[in-house]
Each structure stands twice: as structure tokens, then as C-alpha cells.
Amino acid sequence: MVDLGLQRIDLPPVESLPKACGTQGARLLTQQRDERTWQVAIFGTFDVENYGDLLFPIIAEAELTRRLGPVNLHRFSYHRKTRPQWPYAVTSLTELPHVAPSLDGVLIGGGFLIRFDKVVAHGYGPTTDEIHHPTGYWLTPALIALQHAIPLMWNAPGMHCNAIPDWARPLLKMALEQSQHVRVRDALSRDALGALARQAEIEVLPDTAFGLPCLIDEQQPSAEFIRLREHAGLTGPYIVIHAIHVVESFVKLFEDHAEAFQGYQFLVMPIGPVLGDDPSVIAARLPGAVTLSFWPEPLLMAQIISQAQAVIGHSYHLAITALAFGVPVFCSADLTTGKYTALAGFDTLHALPDVATVDPQWFLARVGKTHPSPAARAAADQLVEHWDRVAAIVRRGKTASQPVLGAFLQHLPNLLEAAAEGLEPSPAECPASPVVPKLDVIEPAQNLAQQQRIVQLSHQLALSDARMLELQNSHSFRMTAPLRSIARGIRNLTAIKNRQC
């Protein structure tokens, strides 16, 4: 049984952090730093035991401190957390209305944040019914930032295979179009949000976890990491295995060819205990597998991954951390779907093969920590520019978003009155059936996977046609007409503002 208590490591002073953060990193500490203490808020699920979610505030605080000097980072989530039980203090969202007027900047994300489903994690929700779930920890804070003219920036969150409901579209559109900096972590999220908020400049940015080498000196492991290795008996090269059932089939490769892997130890770790990770699923099948008596805090977890010879698993941030440090990844996720599409171009990330047919030498030939790939280094360089711009926006101060929000609230009674009267949408507002693009003829010699993907897309488009037709004829489509009326109102207000500028 693994004790999931958190072991905390204080973030080292900025001056002691590694200097080479991407090829442009050497210039970071030479930028102007201010004497004042900046008040910046970051929003997400920082109150759950999930490695990736806990990383974002740590990275943001370090990067902004490099550029701005003293930063008081307010980490907002549903639930309040305190040290030493948690890696850092987390402020409950119930406090946001009181804190907001003093903020100099707001960061939304990152992670899988732009979502509307209720099942974020088992039993996870707000502390009061007054806060909507799940938009209470990302969309509502964005609107509050606009209310107070606080610079609003999107810190590479993503959508990952979910749709935007009609009721949320006008609010999300306004939040995006009034933001100073909108970055999302994959092209699918960019395209979905760009279709909604056409006036917003939405661009793809690598997940900020690619910047972890700026926080961890892999050439000089921390004392905590050295003690962990000694205590756990990690005396030689090791492979990290995500403690999740989807890698069970790959474990069979190790069982059937144990002699081929005698030079490696297996470290079985939960990456997201809140999502049900359990080392007992895997460790029992690997004699001699190492498990830990505690769940490491984020920077210690990152160090463990950075020194591995390979990682195997499903976790998005397990993969990103490994890629950032030149550790090969064997991933069980579908790299053609959702957020994982952002990782498909990394040549040291390998889709988990069919173990029944794979030769163990295929695996061994790809194991071994090296230097980060050119793609990983390019991702780190993009993050340098991102944090430079975020810092510049915070320095610039208050925004011009208040008049637009005020005009929207002024017009809101008209929209609500129209909604109460049940007005039908104009024909232009009714969604048209999507046009199915003409597909190129695929020659037999072309890649089979590409052919299968085209078949899958064609099937999805056909389903979309059917669902759209059903939607247009449905009672719910007519009932949601008021929401589309609100969306039209926002567009009209934005157009009026643009003409006045």
C-alpha cells in the first residue's frame, strides 16, 4: 500500500535555478526587474493529487519572478490548501471577489481546463453551490478579471475532445476576445476556440511543462532525490512505469523476456492518484519492482522522471517531462486524438506497440536517456517568448475591457427580455450542415494508418451531419434560441466598439 502523503520541496531561489532555458534562456536574468511585489493569480485544479496540474503554478512563479522580480502568486482552486500538507498554499475560489481588485494579472491554466462536463475527478467539485462547476475555476475568473480591467492571459490550456455548449458560447467568446494573450496547447483547441471567437488572436503554445529544465539542474541532482534513490534502492538505471492498468499488456513483455531487462530496475509510480492510479496494478507482476512509500511532490517527481532511461504510461505530463529531458517515452495514448496530437511530432515518443508481436530488442534499442530532441528544445524556446510577453502585459497594467463588459451588462436586460419571449433565431443563426471535403484518392501503396484515419474522419463527419439535422429539428434547439440571441448581442457590441476605435 502506497502512502500518498506529499513530500514538499521548497522552490529554490530564482538566482540558483538553471540559466539555460532554451537557446534564448541566457538573457532572462538580464531583463529589468522591478522592486514592487506583483500580485498575479493563476487558476486551475491545483487542489488535486495530479502531477501535471500541480506543476503549472510552480513554473509560472519561477518564470515571472525571473522577469518581474518579487511576485506574490495567488493559486486559486475550489479547495483551500496549506503547507506543509501541500506543496504550496492554494486559495479557495470563494475568496476571489475579495482578492480580485488588488491583482495585476490573471493566468488561466494550463492543462485540460476548457471543459464543461461535470466529472472532472471522482467527487471533485466546488465548496459552495454558488460557484458553477466546472467553469467556476476558469471561465468565471476570466470574466471577473474583465470586470476589474485586470490583464487576462491564457496559459496554454486545452479542450481535449469536448464541445462548447450553447449557453457558454457568448460568455467564452467575450472572455477570449477581450483577453490580452490567448495561447492554447494544441491545434484542435485553437481551431475550436478560433471558430467561436474570430476576433481573438489564438495561437498554439507548447505545454509550459516543456520549461521544466529551467527549474531543475539535471547535472546536479537535489539532496532529496539522492536520498530517495538510496531509500528506495534505486541503485542502477531505471525505467519509470505509470501505475495504470492500460500498460498491463506491456508488462507482459517484461514477464516473458525477463532476461533481456536484467540491466534495468522498474519504478512503478502513480502520476495522478486522484484519477485512480494504483501501483499494485502493475508492481505485483514485476518481481523486484520498486514502489515509493509516499507520492513525491511535483519537482521531485520531475527529477525522478528526468533521470530515467525510459518512461512507459498514459500521462500527458509524464510524457512531456520525459521529452523535455531527453528521456524516451512509450505512450499508451492515441496520438491522433485530442491533446495528444500535440505530442505526435516528437521522434523520441513511441506509440505503445502490440506486445504480442513486438521484439524486446525493438524496445531496448530505443531505451536510454540522451539530449532533448530539436523539437523539445524548440518548445522551450517558444515558452521563453511566451513568458516574456506575459511579464510585459502584467507590467503594462490595467486594460480597456471594462467598457465592453459594461456595455454588455447594459444590454443584458434586452437580451433576457427577448429570451423570456421565446424568440426564434434568425435563419442565419441556424447551423448549416458541415460540408464534407472531397478526399484525395489513396493509392494502395500509401500508409495503411492514413487510410484508416480517413475512414474514421469520414464516419465522424457523417455522424456530425446526422446529429446536426437532428439538432435543427429538436425542441432543445428552439429552446436555446435566447442564448444565441445573447451571442448576437455580444457580437453587435463588439462591432460598435470597433467602429468607435
Q: Does the pLDDT at position 486 exceed 70? A: no
265 plus 306 within the same structural domain: yes
Count of alpha carbons within 13 angstroms of residue 381, beta-carbon side: 9
305 pLDDT higher than 90: yes
- The whole-number pLDDT of residue 357 equals 72
- Percent of the chain's residues with pLDDT above 70: 76
Q: Is 157 inside any structural domain?
A: yes
Domain end point (choices 373, 391, 425)? 373
Identify the pLDDT of residue 414: 77
**Residues 6 or more apart whose Cβ sits within 8 Å of residue 480:** 166, 167
- φ/ψ bin of 46: left (φ > 0), alpha (ψ from -120 to 50), beta (otherwise): alpha
Round to whole Å and give the CA distance between 360 and 259: 10
352 pLDDT exceeds 60?
yes
| Helical ranges in 108-202 per DSSP H | 139-147, 169-177, 187-196
- pLDDT for the residue numbered 193: 96
- Regarding whether 353 and 208 lie in a shared domain, the answer is no
Region 405-416: what's the mean pLDDT? 77
Please report which residue ranges of 307-398 form alpha helices under DSSP H: 316-324, 360-364, 374-396
**Considering its fold, how many domains does the chain have in total?**
3
For residues 40 and 130, membership in a common domain is answered with yes
The pLDDT mean for the chain works out to 82
Q: Is the pLDDT reported for residue 343 higher than 90?
A: yes
Tally the C-alpha atoms within 13 A of residue 254's C-alpha that lie toward its C-beta.
Answer: 22
Are 166 and 313 part of one and the same domain? no
Nearest CA to 329 out of 309, 358, 359 is that of 309
The CATH number for 48's domain is 3.40.50.2000
Shared domain for 124 and 109, answered yes or no, is yes
Distances (CA, A) of 121 to 133, 190, 272: 12, 25, 10
| 6 or 261, higher pLDDT | 261
**pLDDT higher than 70, residue 386:** yes
SS (H, E, C) 394-431: HHHCCCCHHHHHHHHHHHHHHHHHHHHCCCCCCHHHCC
Are residues 200 and 325 part of one domain?
A: no
Q: Do 38 and 98 fall within a single domain?
A: yes
Q: CA 410: distance to chain centroid? A: 35
Are 233 and 143 in a shared domain?
no
With a cut of 60, say whether residue 142 has pLDDT above it: yes
Assess if residue 330 is contained within a domain.
yes
| Residue range(s) defining the domain that contains residue 444 | 433-500
H or E stretch at 96: helix 96-99
| 7 belongs to a structural domain | no
Summarize pLDDT for 162-214 with one digit per residue, the tens: 889 888 888 899 999 999 999 999 999 999 999 999 999 999 999 999 999 99
Domain assignment present for residue 21? The answer is no
Specify the range with the lowest mean pLDDT, choosing from 145-154, 299-308, 414-423. Answer: 414-423
Using the CB atoms, write b or e for 230-240: b if 16+ within 10 Å. Answer: eebebeeebbb
Task: Grade residue 34 by pLDDT with cuts at 50, 70 and 90.
Answer: low
In a domain, 416, yes or no: no
Residue 206, domain member (yes or no): yes
Do residues 173 and 42 both lie within one domain? yes
Looking at the fold, whether 453 and 317 belong to one and the same domain comes out as no
- The number of CA neighbours under 13 Å toward the Cβ of 398 is 9
Could you tell me which residue, 56 or 500, shows the higher pLDDT? 56
Q: How far apart are the first and last CA of the chain?
A: 63
Q: Which pLDDT score, from 0 to 100, does residue 391 have? A: 98
Within this chain, do residues 37 and 163 fall inside the same structural domain, yes or no?
Answer: yes
Instruction: Verify that 155 and 297 share a domain, yes or no.
Output: no
Confidence label for 158 from pLDDT (cuts 50, 70 and 90): very high
Q: Is residue 425 part of a domain?
A: no
Q: With respect to residue 15, please indicate whether it lies within any of the assigned structural domains.
A: no
